Amino acid sequence: MLKKIKELIEIFYFEKLKLKKWEKIYKNTEKIILFQTPEYGNLGDQAIAIAIKKILMDKYSDKLILEFTLNEYERNENLIKKIINNKDTIHLVGGGNFGNLYKDIEFPRRKIIFSFPENKIVVMPQSISFTNDSDGEKEKEIMSNFYSKHKNLHIITRDEKSYEIGKELFKNNNIYLMPDTVLYLENEYLDKMKQERKDVIFTIRKDKEKVLSDNKITEIINILEKNNIKYSIDDTTVNYGVVKETRDYEVEKILRKISGAKLNITDRFHGVIFSVITNTPVIVFKSLDHKIEYGVRWFKHLDWVHYVEEKDDIEKIILKYLNNDIEIKKENYILKETLKERFFNI
């Protein structure tokens, strides 16, 4: 334990030295800043960070890009502020945390926006949602007043419902609609993930957003066992931290699992998206909010993405893919191109 504490002290010491050096070198350089990337185990959010870095490098190939994780900014706020000048463009990581459900991310985001009133700030594709209670209503009003005060804030939403909410709440800001950033990786992993497909994989929630009932999961498992279909139960979240250095490895690991299955059954939005970028047929159930119900509309052109309700009988869908060798191919990558076209015009 003592050894671990000493290691952390050393890491944080050299981190501060690096930032002081960056202030001297980069203070007056016009650059691109990416804030709030994750160090927690949500692999969907980790994939977002990978995709954002890629799209930023493609759009700003001539500029310096600096990334600061959620934790790095909390530890070194004052030092990081000294590196940034008013000409820098700031990007805040996307995901499903815009609202009052994940205040541990929402509150730091507000702090960053408040700290840089003169900078162009872009919130990458987000689902906007609030709980249906007094706290949700209170936070709606607070966020509407707060965000509307920034003169150069651009909020990107990733589904039609979030876009409607954004247009209603943030009338003084620029609101956009485009696919989730991970879809910029639509053709990134296909060659790398080629393998024989077999069995079924579940990528299902165990957290506070879980709404798929245990009874439904048991019902599906009974269908699989009745038909002698093997399955594995997984999730797109791991129970340990994932840092920048291990991000690619962890994301590729879950993508490899999904791409090795004939069918993915999920209640996670990035469970669907991981299926889309690995050409894996998927059955997806609704989420706690609107993110899946509206988010899957991006995939209307893919007849192997099946959005279902708990009451639906999915045995036919399961047997369609498990009893046949169906090779999924895409002739084009319209989601990536849509994302690129819209983002490059902001």
Residue 108 near residue 73, CB atoms below 8 Å:
yes
- Quote the pTM value: 0.94
Residue 55 pLDDT exceeds 80: yes
pLDDT > 80? residue 12:
no
Answer whether residue 10 shows pLDDT above 90: no
The pLDDT tens digits of the residues spanning 295-324 come to 999 999 999 999 998 888 899 999 999 998
Quickly state the pLDDT bin for 207 (edges 50, 70, 90).
confident
* Cα end-to-end distance, the chain, whole Å: 48
Half-sphere exposure of 114 (CA within 13 A, CB side): 10
- Among 80, 157, 146, CA closest to 117: 146
Domains of the chain: 26-185+337-344 (3.40.50), 200-329 (3.40.50.2000)
More confidently predicted of 101 and 209: 101
Residue 318, pLDDT score? 96
Listed in sequence order, the residues at least 6 apart from 345 whose beta carbon sits closer than 8 Å to its beta carbon are: none
What is the mean predicted confidence (pLDDT) over 245-253?
97
Nearest to 185 by CA among 247, 234, 140: 247
Interstrand relation of 89-92 and 31-37 (parallel, antiparallel or unpaired): parallel
